[in-house]
Amino acid sequence: MISFEMTQQQKQMKEFIHYFAQYEVRPISMLSDKLERVPDEWLDKVNKMGVTLSTSAIGKDASGSSQKEKHEEANQDPEVKRQVNRLSVIAAEEMGWGDPAVALSLPGPGLGGPPVQGSGTPEQKKRFLGIFGKDKPRWGAYALTEPEAGSDVSGLRTTARKVDGGYVLNGQKVFITNGGRASWVVAFATVDPSLGRAGHRAFVVEQGTPGFSVSRLAHKMGMRASETAELVFEDCFVPDENLLGGEEYYEQRANGPSGFRVAMATFDTTRPVVAAMATGIARAAYETTLDYVKKEYPKHGRSYQMACEQLALMEQNIEASRLLTWEAAWKGDIGQPNAKEAAMCKAYAGKTGLDVCAACLELMGPVGVDGNLVEKLYRDVKVYDIFEGTNQIQHLIVARRLYDQEGLRI
């Protein structure tokens, strides 16, 4: 049975990440939003500290010793291995509380990490994951979404034509986080559109590969400090050794793996992290508004009572979002299928973030939209209802799992 009591290690990690979010992230939050980028000197600083959203490194403790080294040692402990998803969502909530756009800008493999870790060969894992946390900030990226294939990724049109020694990719990807500066991108393409999902393959395309380019960087309403790129593949040659998992991984057989399954397995890991960040955003808006109501609202009267009722509902939904997220992470840690739980927490937390930020703006009135943190969070949180699969897609996933339990299909 899942325990909601944090271990000592989880508590310590949460305290450190919250401290980092409060004293390192929050001070550059509004400036980064205005600049539409995180300052390079700050990125250099955190790269040396070893802080990433995935908790593959957790910074430095008060003594100055590297927590990254300690984490690598602890990873040999089976008990710690069983906590990796839980640690990730705890860290993600604190970083979402600090600034979600800055959090997504932290150096590291990002969304490209899970497919490489989960499906890559030992050589690929060493080659592509071993470059992080070294002399300079580096990023990885995950390129699945296309102009005509967003929620329905089975319709992707980027092609991969087999040639001697590798594949030639042609196509376009959109809304790719850190895609412009990534050292490599996990890109999904089809070797045969007539095969549908079975034809999907995942490739690691490295920066500087001929035929691989960034067509533009997006200017957005929210999450402005986070880089979002459009990528183009034009007769882009990718060698066989960059086919994620190798040729044998994609042999056609009953229930065999495909690039589509690689993508879906990635979502089961990343959707709880997205849900945790949405929960952190909601918490940040709630706490800011709670302080405002305490200071500015008259302590008697209907307006104060209504504000308290709304704040109580916010706290209830934030807590529910957190517990749904922890359940999805816990199931992932113990090796149980968690697609339904990952979809549920992502859908619920995304809507909670939207509802809480909107309610906070109403309670704060003109103050809330006058360059206030809550106004920024309101712009930032909208995408949490969209990326990693829209809420409608999450509801479809949950419904399919429920119908499967009854022997039905939708």
Residues 51 and 161 occupy one common structural domain: no
Domain stops at, among 240, 259, 278: 259
Nearest to 46, CA basis, from 6, 98, 115: 98
The parent domain of residue 176 ranges over: 140-259
Residue 154 lies in a domain: yes
- As a whole number of angstroms, the distance between CA 201 and CA 247 comes to 10
Residue 374 burial (CB count, 10 A) = 22
Average of pLDDT values for 252-271?
A: 68
Average pLDDT over the chain reads 87
What is this structure's pTM?
A: 0.87
Window from 29-33, 39-43, 174-178, 394-398 with minimum mean pLDDT: 394-398
Query: How do residues 293-307 score in pLDDT, each as one tens digit?
Result: 999 888 878 889 999
Distance set, CA 78 to CA 74, 75, 410 (Å)? 9, 7, 39
The four Cα atoms 81, 46, 276, 350 give a dihedral, to 10 degrees, of: -150
Residues 168 and 206 occupy one common structural domain: yes
Cα Rg of the chain, angstroms? 21
- CB–CB of 136/47 below 8 Å? yes
Residues 266 and 284 occupy one common structural domain: yes
Domain stops at, among 239, 259, 279: 259
Q: Looking at residue 366, which CATH number applies to its domain?
A: 1.20.140.10
- As a whole number of angstroms, the distance between CA 208 and CA 213 comes to 8
Q: What is the pLDDT of residue 300?
A: 77
- As a whole number of angstroms, the distance between CA 359 and CA 127 comes to 47
Query: How do residues 199-209 score in pLDDT, each as one tens digit?
Result: 889 999 999 99
Residue 134 lies in a domain: no
Residues 341 and 377 occupy one common structural domain: yes
Residues 230 and 312 occupy one common structural domain: no
- CB–CB of 21/94 below 8 Å? yes
Q: What is the pLDDT of residue 302?
A: 87
Residues 279 and 380 occupy one common structural domain: yes
Number of domains comprising the chain = 3
- Sort strands 140-143 and 184-190 into parallel, antiparallel or unpaired: parallel
Environment class of 229 (CB within 10 Å of its CB; exposed 0-12, middle 13-18, buried 19+): buried
Residue 123 lies in a domain: no
- As a whole number of angstroms, the distance between CA 265 and CA 267 comes to 5
Q: What is the pLDDT of residue 252?
A: 52
Residue 114 lies in a domain: no
Check whether 74 has a pLDDT greater than 50.
no
Nearest to 276, CA basis, from 338, 346, 192, 206: 346
Contacts of 47 by beta carbon, 8 Å cutoff, 6+ apart: 107, 133, 136, 137
Residue of 93, 227, 341, 388 marked active site: 388
Residue 123 is among the residues annotated as catalytic for this protein? no
Residue with more model confidence, 319 or 119: 319
Residue 115 lies in a domain: no
Residues 218 and 269 occupy one common structural domain: no
Average of pLDDT values for 316-339?
A: 94
Q: What is the pLDDT of residue 400?
A: 87
Residues 161 and 243 occupy one common structural domain: yes
Nearest to 228, CA basis, from 348, 121, 141: 141
Residues 276 and 342 occupy one common structural domain: yes
Q: What is the pLDDT of residue 266?
A: 74
Query: How do residues 351-373 score in pLDDT, each as one tens digit?
Result: 999 999 999 999 998 887 877 89
Q: Looking at residue 29, which CATH number applies to its domain?
A: 1.10.540
Residue 307 lies in a domain: yes
Most confident of 139-153, 312-326, 389-403: 312-326
Q: What is the 3-state secondary structure (H, E, C) of 168-224?
A: EEEEEEEEEECCCCCCEEEEEEECCHHHHHHHEEEEEEECCCCCEEEEEECCCCCCC
User: Computed from CA positions of residues 89, 95, 100, 102, in that sequence, does the dihedral angle turn out positive or negative?
Assistant: negative
Q: Looking at residue 210, which CATH number applies to its domain?
A: 2.40.110.10
- CB–CB of 44/234 below 8 Å? no
Residue 133 lies in a domain: no
Q: What is the pLDDT of residue 73?
A: 41
Residue 367 lies in a domain: yes
Residues 33 and 101 occupy one common structural domain: yes
Average of pLDDT values for 149-163?
A: 85
Residues 387 and 346 occupy one common structural domain: yes
Residues 253 and 237 occupy one common structural domain: yes
HSE at residue 333, side-chain half, CA atoms within 13 A, is 22
